[in-house]
Amino acid sequence: MENTIKIKSRSVWSDAWDRLKRDKLAMVSLGVIIIYAVVAILSATGLLAADWDQKVGESYMAPTTEKISLLFGTDIFGYSVLRKVIHGTQIAMSVGLISTLIAIPIGISLGALAGYFGKWIDEAVVWFYTTFSSVPGIMLLMSIAFAFGKGLTTLYIALGLTSWVGLCRLIRGEVMKHKNREYVQAATAIGAGNGRKLFIHIIPNVIHLVIINASLQFQVAIKSEVILSYLGLGVTGQPSWGTMIDDAKQELAQGVWWQLAGATFAMFFVVLAFNILGDALRDALDPKLKGK
């Protein structure tokens, strides 16, 4: 054993990271997402914009560069729109993160079980996700949000419960393909059990789908928060991008555009970044799909 030569192998991940690094647009997007995440964390810990419910001036002051808090103007109560945008960032990022964290375990476990064991387990899982995906997205989202009552927790649950189907389908299909591959047969030959084959051998080979999916799911959740908040099913008692855009419905006719602009632009950059990063991740992690 002492004579074994150790070759430093390059993992798929470092390969993918190298490919991703070459994509400048993707790296900028990653930077944007990190900035939003930092802002969200600072806001959540109370270090930034914790005083969003303090008056900084008159009602509906237009944006001015005199004071940082007035950069985006004020709302009807004289609150700083900039601080509301920052607080909204915290809401948006946490909605994206938590709903994705709810969807991923459901998607992976059901998809893997169905793909690996097949037979009645597969049929049951396929029936389960067909049922979920048969109610059109917005109707299901509304029904779940309505049933659980409005609030932030409801947003997490509703978006989490509606976004696992795509991932589950993908994982099921990939696991099905992988379970008859030679490396799994080899694992069977040395006596690996089902659990070991599935968790140690197969799942690491399909996990990249989770990352691609999560990146795209994140922005869907951010966009849905806005719609659900407009429908009165989302956040209450604190500002979010959705409630800000909802306020703008009454404000535009009075010439107050800054609340709409602030929330829309804040949302635009992060959703755009997730869209670009999602595409780039797919190219980097799944070279077969490149260009599709």
Partner 1 sequence: MNGSWNYILRRLLYLIPVLLGVCLLIFVLFNLVAPDPAALLLGKHATPEQILEVRQNLGLTKPLYEQYFDVVKSAFTFDFGRSWKTKQSITTMIRLRAIPSLTVSLPAFVFSTILSILFALLVAYYRGKGIDLFVRVSCIAMMSISSLAYILFFQWFFAYKMEWFEILGYEPGFPSVLPFISLPIIIWVILSLGPDIRFYRTVILDEIYQDYVRTAKAKGLSDRKVLLKHVLRNAMIPILTYTVIQLPFLLLGALLLESFFSIPGLGDMTIEALNESDFPVLKAMAILSAVAYVTFTLIQDILYTWVDPRVKLN
Nearer to partner 1, 198 or 245 (CB): 245
* DSSP H or E run through 112: helix 81-117
Cross-strand pairs, 79:
55
- Return the range that interacts with partner 1 (CB under 8 A); candidates 5-13, 31-39, 69-77, 222-230: 222-230
Contact 162, 137 (CB under 8 A): yes
Amino acid identity of residue 44, one-letter, is A
Nearer to partner 1, 53 or 279 (CB): 279
Amino acid identity of residue 105, one-letter, is P
Cross-strand pairs, 55:
79
119 belongs to the binding site for partner 1 (CB under 8 A): no
241 belongs to the binding site for partner 1 (CB under 8 A): yes
Residues 126-155 that bind partner 1 (CB under 8 A): 127-128, 130-132, 134-136, 138-140, 142-144, 146-149
- Return the range that interacts with partner 1 (CB under 8 A); candidates 10-18, 93-101, 109-117, 269-277: 269-277
> Exposure of 284 by Cβ count < 10 A (0-12 exposed, 13-18 middle, 19+ buried)?
buried
Exposure class string for 179-193: b at 16+ Cβ within 10 A, else e: beeeebeebeeeeee
Q: State whether residue 80 is helix, strand or coil.
A: strand
Nearer to partner 1, 91 or 202 (CB): 91
Residues of the shown chain interacting with partner 1 in the complex, contacts defined by CB under 8 A: 127-128, 130-132, 134-136, 138-140, 142-144, 146-149, 219, 223, 226-227, 230-233, 241-242, 245-246, 248-249, 252-253, 260, 263-264, 267-269, 271-272, 275-276, 279, 291-292
